[in-house]
Amino acid sequence: MNKVFHPLLDKFVVVCINDIVVYSNSLEKHLEYLQRVFKFLENKLYVKKKKKYSFVQEKVEFLSHKIRGRQLLMREDKVRAIQE
C-alpha cells in the first residue's frame, strides 16, 4: 500500500499495512482528499470493503492509539497495563 499511495504519504494519508487514514484541517479538504484516495484505489483495482470504512470522524483509533483533532492519546487499557 505504501507504493500505491507514495505520492500522497505524509501530505494527507498515512498507511499501515492495509489500513489507510486520511487527515485534513477542514471538511471540504477532507472530501477532496477522499476522492483522490478512491481514485488511487480504483486505478490499482483494489477491492473496497465498505463495512471497514469510517468517514469524517473527529476521533479514531489507529495502531492502538486514539487520535482526536491534533491529539494523539494512548488507549486507557494500554496506559493501565504500563502502570501496573
Q: Residue 46's pLDDT is what?
A: 67
Q: Residue 71's pLDDT is what?
A: 81
Contact 48, 7 (CB under 8 A): no
Q: Roughly how many angstroms between the first and final C-alpha of the chain, as a whole number?
A: 37
Which residue type, as a one-letter code, is found at position 37? V
Mean pLDDT by 10 residues, the chain (84 residues): 82 85 90 90 70 78 80 81 83
Alpha carbon separation from 35 to 30, 64, 68, 72 (Å, rounded): 9, 27, 22, 25
Q: Could you tell me the residue ranges of all domains in the chain?
A: 1-52, 54-84
User: Per the structure block, which three cell numbers stand in for 74?
Assistant: 494512548
This prediction has a pTM of: 0.64
